[in-house]
Amino acid sequence: MPKTVVLKIKRQAGPDERPHWEEFEIPYQERLNVLFCLQTIQRNPVNRLGKPTSAPVWDQSCLEEVCGACTMIVNNVVRQACTALVDDLEQPIVLEPLTKFPLIKDLMVDRKRFFDDLTKSKTWVSIDGTHALGAGPGCSQELQQLRYALARCMTCGCCLEVCPQYGLERPFVGAAVLAQVRLFNVHPTGAMQADERLEEMSKPGGITDCGNAQNCVRVCPKEIPLTESIAALGRQMVGYGLRKFFSKS
């Protein structure tokens, strides 16, 4: 049983600064997660060489893997730091920021583009208003289960980090957005705007950019059926293409 935990953290004061590595050693405790390691460093920001330093900066909120904030690369695997338990990890524990988003500082990145792509894809139900209009459409238990499974996506970006087609300079929206499009296209009311979403997803950056590498589905912490959703969306796209073709002719 190790008495200490060694962390090797990629530090970078800002996007234009040079990155460097810094190691820390903290006391071991049972059921320690990576986030508590970082919190421990805040309480005594001295690195492994015994040199006072600043504590690394990272993103966090819920501490229970439901907000998606603390996503980072832990020992080469993209995941949430709050559910990364030290007992399950090799040491030194190597922490790096996500690479597919602009860096803010140290382990914190700005995933704004991800949110903007959701907006672009019109993943919402176009309700008539918030006034009393009675219940929504009935829904079978099976459909609810499917919608719930898709709706648990916490915009964490794990699937984007590992996708060979996704990148800062490239238009592809990535698996999570495609799955959200499917979610709204299967909703009884959302389906009324399905073609608008499909139109958006037929443009560059949409579904045809997916190379079907299936990396995404393997890293999703919420087990969102990503590749299945991309395939389902592909089928919707065929129907949409036909509709479009015939409405033109």
Partner 1 sequence: MSERAIIVVGGGLAGLMATIRICELGHPVKLFSYVPVKRSHSVTAQGGINASINVLGEGDSPQIHFEETIVGSDFLANQPPAKGMCDDAPNIVYLLDRMGVPFNRTPEGNLDFRGFGGTLYHRTAFAGATTGQQLMYALDEQVRRYEAEGLVEKFEYWSMQNILKDSEGRCRGIAALNMPTMEVVAFRAPAVVMAVGGPGLVFGRTTNSMINTGSAVIRAFKSGARFANPEFVQVHPTAIAGLDKRRLISESVRAEGGRVWTYKDGKKWYFFEEMYPAYGNLVPRDIASKVIHDIVVNQGLGPDGGRYVYLDVSHIDDDVLRRKLSGVLEIYEKFMGEDPYHNPMKVYPAVHYSMGGLWIDYNQMTSVPGLYAVGECDYEYHGANRLGANSLLSCIYAGRIVGAPAVEYASQELPDIADSALAEVVGREEQAFEEVFASDGEENAYLIQDEMGEMMDRDVTIVRENATLDKVAAKLEDLDAQAARIGLRDKGRRMNAEAIFARELRDRLLYAKMIVKAARAREESRGAHYKPTFPKRNDDEWLKTTLVDYSAEELKISYEPVDISLLPLRERRYDVKH
Residue 227 near which of ligand SF4, partner 1, ligand FES, none (CB within 5-8 Å, type-dependent): ligand SF4
Among 219, 207, 230, which Cα is nearest to 157's?
219
Least CB distance from residue 80 to ligand FES, whole Å? 4
Q: Specify the residue, 29 or 99, whose C-beta has the smaller distance to partner 1.
A: 29
Residue 140 near which of ligand FES, ligand SF4, partner 1, none (CB within 5-8 Å, type-dependent): partner 1
Give the separation between CA 147 and CA 58, rounded to whole angstroms: 31
Least CB distance from residue 191 to ligand SF4, whole Å? 21
Helices (H), the chain: 34-43, 112-120, 141-151, 158-161, 175-186, 194-201, 215-219, 226-248
Using CB under 6 A as the binding rule, whether residue 211 contacts ligand SF4 is answered as yes
Using CB under 8 A as the binding rule, whether residue 2 contacts partner 1 is answered as no
Least CB distance from residue 213 to partner 1, whole Å? 27
- Residue 120 structure tokens: 């672009």
Give the separation between CA 7 and CA 48, rounded to whole angstroms: 9
Interface contacts to ligand FES, rule CB under 6 A: 60-63, 65, 67-70, 80, 82
Which residues, 33 to 92, sit near partner 1 by CB under 8 A?
Answer: 33, 35-36, 39, 42-45, 52-55, 57, 59-69, 82-83, 85, 87
Using CB under 8 A as the binding rule, whether residue 220 contacts partner 1 is answered as no
DSSP string of 50-83, one letter each residue: S-B-PPP----S-SSSSS-TTEEEETTEEEESTT
Query: Are 236 and 198 within 8 A, CB to CB?
Result: yes
Q: Specify the residue, 60 or 202, whose C-beta has the smaller distance to ligand FES.
A: 60
